[in-house]
Structure 1
Amino acid sequence: MDVNGWWGTHGNDIRRTLFLLFLGQVISFVMSLMSFTSSLLASLGVDTPLTLSFFVYLALSLVYGSIFIYRRQKLQVRWYWYLLIGFADVQGNFLVNQAFQYSSITSVTILDCWTIAWVILLTWYFLGTRYSLWQFFGAAVCVAGLGLVLLSDAGVGGGGGSRPLLGDTFVIMGTLFFALSNVGEEICVKKKDRVEVITMMAISGLLVSICEIAILETKGIASVKWSPEIVREPESAVLTNVTAVFSHLINSPFFSQILAFAGFAFAGFLFYTFVPFLLKMSGATLFNLSLLTSDMWAVVIRIFFYKQEVDWLYYVAFGLVGIGLVVYSKTEKALDSAPAIGDGSQYQILDEECRDARNDDVGDRS
């Protein structure tokens, strides 16, 4: 067998698959950092999911908005499409985070897999994406791997939460909004400029977050105790030492809150920066399948910070998800070359919007 010839034929496909898998796991790990910092804030008594998203959208708007303004280019997609995508993204974040207040973490994680089903339906209907039996098999293997993690975490009961039905409803609604956001972003990023997509989505999310914070979260922000509580005993001999003061500040709830907010914003910035790359090269389905490993990365983080032991099922689960991702991404490459995917019909609505915008500009100049 000619190894060089085989590698020359299949080398690009293998490198592409490995890169997609690596990028998906980077995004998954970043998402687990977001979950960790969010749970840390919840343990500190901070219940402000919209405010957390606000700082992420603000950072994205400042960085990518500056690049977009520097380019001085006009929008290639009408602004209200981005407003709809940003609105859906904010609602998904809010509903899923809010579900933890009413339902168990096991139920939320299981129902969060509904995003994959919604994405498959939406991409099939709006994008004309064709899925093979092997792709469905790969997706099923990924979900089975996550099921092992939940089995290990849940034990016998798993906890039901205070109002599980309400919490589960929030999760299902949130996954639908996430799917709408992912598919909308995939449509835009595959045909238009990535910087424009991130900028307009961030600005839209920022505006929606501001409006909803003013309506829904003012009491939650007011209830947060921001005082560092470091100088309540100025005569204390311990606090007279500069090192002890610094140590007291580091271990204070105030510093933990600030660090968690900053960590969430940084992780969120990386998350929304990397996501368009994966959506452009692959699609929303592989993106959501890759996110299934975020729970396992969260376990790694808990081991590092809290020295927790890991059940053997986690290793089996990680392997299953990896196998499912390989099966799905390898089959997806074969389908990408199908004429139905490349004929541009799935982008007809957005292309018509762009042509209308250009005609409007011509009419204005005349």
Structure 2
Amino acid sequence: MMGDLLLSVALGQVLSLLICGIGLTSKYLSEDFHANTPVFQSFLNYILLFLVYTTTLAVRQGEENLLAILKRRWWKYMILGIIDIEANYLVVKAYQYTTLTSVQLLDCFVIPVVILLSWFFLLVRYKAVHFIGIVVCILGMGCMAGADVLVGRQQGAGENKLIGDLLVLGGATLYGISNVCEEYIVRNLSRVEFLGMIGLFGSFFSGIQLAIMEHKELLKVPWDWQIGLLYVGFSACMFGLYSFMPVVIKKTSATAVNLSLLTADLYSLFCGLFLFHYKFSGLYLLSFFTILVGLMLYSSTSTYVAQDPRVYKQFRNPSGPVVDLPATSQMEPSVTYTSLGQETEEEPHVRVA
């Protein structure tokens, strides 16, 4: 049990390290080379997803083929792709208006969004220890924000702080929606389907957004091998994050993943101590270990669904056959989804219309 608990926490930290790599390459591109191209950077990631996962779906046969999936639920994936694109864009854009501390704190808004959506749409139910773990994690983030104020790391223009704060809240809300949809898809359909559809619609709509909003900025980039290497590094970290996150979400949950990602800013800060000569505060270490304690608390106890998942899946698959149970039969107990991704029984693959 302890081994599974540590594995759950470790998987989340891998995602945080990938986000750290994304942040560092973005910082070098924007500050050292004045390449402010967030849409282009996301576009590169969506192209990679398209080349790897969308093409994989295209060569599959039967109901898992790309055309069959598009025929059944293309508009759902189109909406999800737009949500994912704009979530990335809004948070990156917010740095131009508000402070780093505000972004770090307000970005935690994704956690209550994920909890509420999981409660109402995934029927996940939490126990007291889960809420205690969540509160401890958020206290750790507050400790880090306080350390930023003490050492003077409140970066950002701050002239239109309200606009920046609203952008962060909007981005966090969209991230929450995207993460919960991702958990639903990887648990009931497949990881490859999710990434393939995100790659398809993400490439298309981010390409349009790039052509409209960022083509002039792209022409200003002073291209050389260093900038090219930074773009490659950014794309590799982003592609790794998108590819690995569904695995971790299926093993744990969307809520657990977002709690794990709270340490990403701390990894970036520790790297910044050596690369950018940031000032150090002992509160950063306190913040890091506080977040880890919160993660251990959250992951130590299982969550559960509110009703039998087969009934839930029948509700989501109205075109499927409905089996009438005998009046004397007794409904089996609900499957328990744990924060470590374990289930009390194996669910068959169900096609969702």
TM-score normalised per structure 1: 0.80
CA distance in 1, matches of 2:25, 2:261: 17
1:162 to 152, 156, 159: 159
| 1:258-317 Cα shifts (integer Å, max 9, x gaps) | 121111100001100110011112211111100000011112322343455532112111
5+ long unaligned stretches in structure 2: 322-350
Conservation of the 8 A alpha-carbon contact between 2:18 and 2:241: yes
Residues 351/218 of structure 1: CA separation in 2 closer, same or farther (3 Å cut): same
1:1-366 matched pairs, under 5 angstroms: 13-43=1-31, 44-72=33-61, 73-74=64-65, 75=68, 78-155=73-150, 158=154, 161-226=158-223, 254-306=224-276, 308=278, 310-331=280-301, 333=302, 335-336=303-304, 340=306, 342-347=308-313, 350-352=316-318
SS of the counterpart of 2:247? helix
Residues 90/354 of structure 1: CA separation in 2 closer, same or farther (3 Å cut): farther
Percent identity, please. 34
| 1:58-98 Cα shifts (integer Å, max 9, x gaps) | 11111122332333333456122222221111000000000
What is the identity, as a one-letter code, of the residue corresponding to 1:36? L
SS of the counterpart of 2:317? helix
Which stretch of the first structure deviates more once superposed, 20-29 or 340-349?
340-349
**Residue 165 (structure 1) shift:** 0.6
5+ long unaligned stretches in structure 1: 1-12, 227-253, 361-366
Residues 212/318 of structure 1: CA separation in 2 closer, same or farther (3 Å cut): same
Which stretch of the first structure deviates more once superposed, 73-82 or 97-106?
73-82
Report the equivalent of 1:236. none
CA distance in 1, matches of 2:320, 2:55: 23
What is the identity, as a one-letter code, of the residue corresponding to 2:54? G
Structure 1 outlier segments of 4+, above 6 Å: none
**Residue 148 (structure 1) shift:** 1.3
SS of the counterpart of 1:321? helix
CA distance in 1, matches of 2:5, 2:269: 26
Q: Which structure dedicates a bigger proportion of its chain to helix?
A: 1
| 1:166-218 Cα shifts (integer Å, max 9, x gaps) | 11011011111111111111111100121111111121111110111122212
What is the identity, as a one-letter code, of the residue corresponding to 1:134? V
RMSD of aligned Cα (Å): 2.4
What is the identity, as a one-letter code, of the residue corresponding to 2:174? F
